[in-house]
Amino acid sequence: MALNDFVIASYRLTINSPLHWVIVVLAVISLVISCWLIYQGFTRELSNNLPKKAPLRFRQKAHLSLLIFANIIAFFSVLLFVLPFEKQVQTPMFDMLLTAGFKHKVTNDDFNNIDMSNEKILYSLRLAEHIWLLSDENDVMENQPLYQWLVTNYRDKVFVINSIQVLTDLWASAATKNTQLFGLNHKVPSLIQILGDGLTRAQWQHLAAFNQQKRVQHSSNTAQSPNIEFSFYASKPLTGVTNLHWRRQLLLGQALTVTGQLQQAFTANRQFQLSLVNNNVVLDSIIIAGNETFSLAATSKIPGLFSYQLILTELPKKQSKQGFKNQAIASNSLTNLNVLNEKTVLKISEDIAFSVATGNKPRVLIKQSAPSFETRRLKQWLSQTGSKVQTISKISKNKWAQQQVNPVTLNAEISDNNAANTKLLSQGSKNTAQGKLLGQAHLLTQRLLAEHDFLMIDSRMLLSLEQTEVDALYRAVKQGLGLLINADASLLQFNHSVADKRSQLLSLFTITAVDESLSRVVASWPDKPVQDVSQTITPQTISIVISSKKHQGINSLIQSTTGQTLVAKQSFGLGTVAISTLNQTHQWALQATPALYSHYWQYLFSAISRSQNSTRWLSSKPAMLALANQSQDICLISPLETVYAPAMQLSSYPLSKHKKCALFSAHQAGWFEFTALTEKQVLLAKQARYFYGNNKFLAWQQAIKHNASRRYESEAPTANRVLSGREVNAAATYRQINKLYLWLIMFISLALLWLERKWHAG
Angle at 721 between CA 720 and CA 723, to 5 degrees: 60
Q: How far apart are CA 725 and CA 297, in angstroms?
A: 44
From the centroid of its chain, how far is CA 21? 55
Give the Å distances, CA to CA, from 551 to 87, 513, 580.
74, 21, 21
Dump strand ranges (E) for 427-489: 454-458, 482-486
In the complex with other proteins, which residue's Cβ is closer, 146 or 677? 677
Strands 158-161 vs 131-134: parallel, antiparallel or unpaired: parallel
Cα separation, 363 vs 455, in Å, equals 9
Query: H-type helices in 485-582, by residue range?
Result: 501-506
By CB under 8 A, tell whether 644 contacts other proteins.
no
* Interface mask toward other proteins for 435-474; x: CB under 8 A: ---x--x-----------x---------------------
Distance of CA 245 to the CA centre of its chain: 12
Q: How far apart are the first and last CA of the chain?
A: 51
Residues 143-182 that bind other proteins (CB under 8 A): none
The Cα–Cα gap between 236 and 247 comes to 29
Return the number of the residue (55 or 428) whose C-beta is nearest other proteins: 428
Over the window 592 to 631, marking each residue x when it contacts other proteins by CB under 8 A and - when it does not, the resulting string is: -xxx--xx-xx--xxxxxxxxx--x-xx------------
Q: Which long-range contacts (CB under 8 A, 24 or more apart) does 563-570 make?
A: 564/518, 564/521, 566/521, 566/523, 566/540, 566/542, 567/604, 568/509, 569/607, 569/608, 570/508, 570/509
Could you tell me which stretch among 49-57, 303-311, 700-708, 715-723 binds other proteins (CB under 8 A)?
303-311
Q: Quote the least distance from Cβ 384 to other proteins, whole Å.
A: 5
To other proteins, the closest distance from the beta carbon of 748 in angstroms equals 59
For other proteins, give the closer residue by CB, 400 or 743: 400
Contact status: 299 vs other proteins (CB under 8 A) = yes
Q: How many other C-beta atoms lie within 10 A of the C-beta of residue 537?
A: 17
Q: Which is nearer to other proteins, 336 or 536 (CB)?
A: 536
What DSSP state is assigned to residue 537?
A: P
Contact of 100 with 699, CB cutoff 8 Å: no
* Rg of the chain, C-alpha, whole Å: 42
Minimum Å gap between C-beta 416 and other proteins is 11
Cα 527 to chain centroid, rounded:
25
CB of 396 to other proteins, least distance (A): 7
Helix axes 740-761, 58-82, angle to 10 degrees: 140
In the complex, minimum distance from the CB of residue 138 to other proteins, in angstroms, rounded to a whole number: 19
Does 696 bind other proteins (CB under 8 A)? Our answer is no
| One-letter identity of residue 305 | L
| Contacts (CB under 8 A) with other proteins, residues 367-386 | 371, 373, 376-377, 381-386
Task: Please choose, out of 46-54, 203-211, 399-407, 486-494, the segment that lies near other proteins by the rule CB under 8 A.
Answer: 399-407
- Positive or negative, the CA dihedral 41, 43, 44, 48 is positive
Taking contact as CB under 8 A, which single stretch among the options 5-13, 225-233, 478-486, 706-714 is the one that binds other proteins?
478-486
Of 272 and 588, which CB lies nearer to other proteins in the complex structure?
588
Provide CB contacts within 8 A for 524, sequence distance 6+.
558, 559, 560, 561
How many whole angstroms separate alpha carbon 92 and alpha carbon 733? 9
Output 612 or 736, the one with its CB closest to other proteins: 612
Cβ proximity to other proteins: between 341 and 504 the closer is 504
Q: Compare residues 201 and 658 and give the one whose CB is closer to other proteins.
A: 658
Task: State the DSSP code for 689.
Answer: E
Kindly tell me the burial class for residue 286, based on how many C-beta atoms sit within 10 Å of its own C-beta (0-12, 13-18, 19 or more): middle
Give dist(CA 557, CA 560) in Å, integer.
10
**Judged by CB under 8 A, does residue 399 bind other proteins?**
yes
Among 19, 209, 425, 518, binds other proteins (CB under 8 A): 425
- Site residues for other proteins, window 404-423 (CB under 8 A)? 404-407, 410, 414-415, 418, 421-422
Among 14-22, 191-199, 200-208, 533-541, the segment contacting other proteins (CB under 8 A): 533-541
Contacts to other proteins from residues 568-587, by CB under 8 A: 571-574, 576, 584, 586-587
Give bridge partners of residue 160 from the DSSP assignment. 133
Structural contact between residues 213 and 232, judged by C-beta atoms closer than 8 angstroms:
no
Please, which residue, 214 or 502, has the CB nearer to other proteins? 502
Please identify, using beta-carbon distances, which residue of 327 and 383 lies nearer to other proteins: 383
88, 320, 402, 510: which one binds other proteins (CB under 8 A): 402
Q: Pick from 120, 206, 245, 361 the residue near other proteins by CB under 8 A.
A: 361
Distance from C-alpha of 218 to C-alpha of 23, rounded to nearest angstrom: 33
Please give the Cα distance from 200 to 65 (Å, whole number). 68
Using the contact rule CB under 8 A, the part of the chain among 160-168, 181-189, 273-281, 321-329 near other proteins is 273-281
Cα–Cα distance measured from residue 455 to residue 572, given in angstroms and rounded to the nearest whole number? 14
The residue among 290 and 439 lying less far from other proteins, judged by its C-beta, is 439
**How near is the Cβ of 601 to other proteins at its closest, in Å?**
7
Is 163 or 421 the residue whose CB approaches other proteins more closely? Answer: 421
Three-state DSSP state, 80 = helix
Q: x/- string (CB under 8 A) for other proteins, residues 664-683?
A: --x-x-xxxxxx-x---x-x
Q: Does 640 bind other proteins (CB under 8 A)?
A: no
Site string for other proteins, 193-222 (x = CB under 8 A): ------------------------------
Give how many residues touch other proteins by CB under 8 A: 119
- State which of positions 241-260 bind other proteins (CB under 8 A): 251-254
Q: Report the candidate in 554, 549, 546, 581 with the shortest Cα–Cα distance to residue 570.
A: 554
Q: Which one-letter DSSP state was computed for residue 620?
A: P
What count of other Cβ atoms lies within 10 Å of the Cβ of residue 471? 16
Question: Residues 274-293 vs other proteins: string with x where CB under 8 A?
Answer: ----xxxx------------
Q: Tell which positions 8-67 bind other proteins, by CB under 8 A.
A: none
Q: Does 434 bind other proteins (CB under 8 A)?
A: no
Would you count residue 526 as binding other proteins (CB under 8 A)?
Answer: no
Closer to other proteins by Cβ: residue 85 or 454 = 454
Between 238 and 356, name the residue whose CB sits nearer to other proteins: 356
CB of 200 to other proteins, least distance (A): 23
Q: Does 662 help bind other proteins (rule: CB under 8 A)?
A: no
272 vs 306, beta carbon nearer other proteins: 306
Comparing CB distances to other proteins, the nearer of 228 and 508 is: 508
Distance CA 559, CA 568 (A): 9
Residues 703-742 close enough to bind other proteins by CB under 8 A:
none
CA 13 to chain centre: 50
Write down the least CB distance from residue 358 to other proteins, Å: 5
- Nearer Cβ to other proteins (25/370): 370
Among 432, 493, 534, 738, binds other proteins (CB under 8 A): 534
Task: Name the segment binding other proteins (CB under 8 A); options: 15-23, 149-157, 193-201, 636-644.
Answer: 636-644
Site stretch for other proteins (CB under 8 A), options 17-25, 50-58, 118-126, 635-643: 635-643
* Region at 757 (left for phi over 0; alpha for psi -120 to 50; beta for the rest): alpha
**Contact yes or no for 459/485 (Cβ under 8 A):** yes
Question: Tell me, what amino acid is at 381?
Answer: W
Query: Nearer to other proteins by C-beta: 102 or 664?
Result: 664
Phi, psi (degrees; rounded to nearest 5) at 46: -70, -45
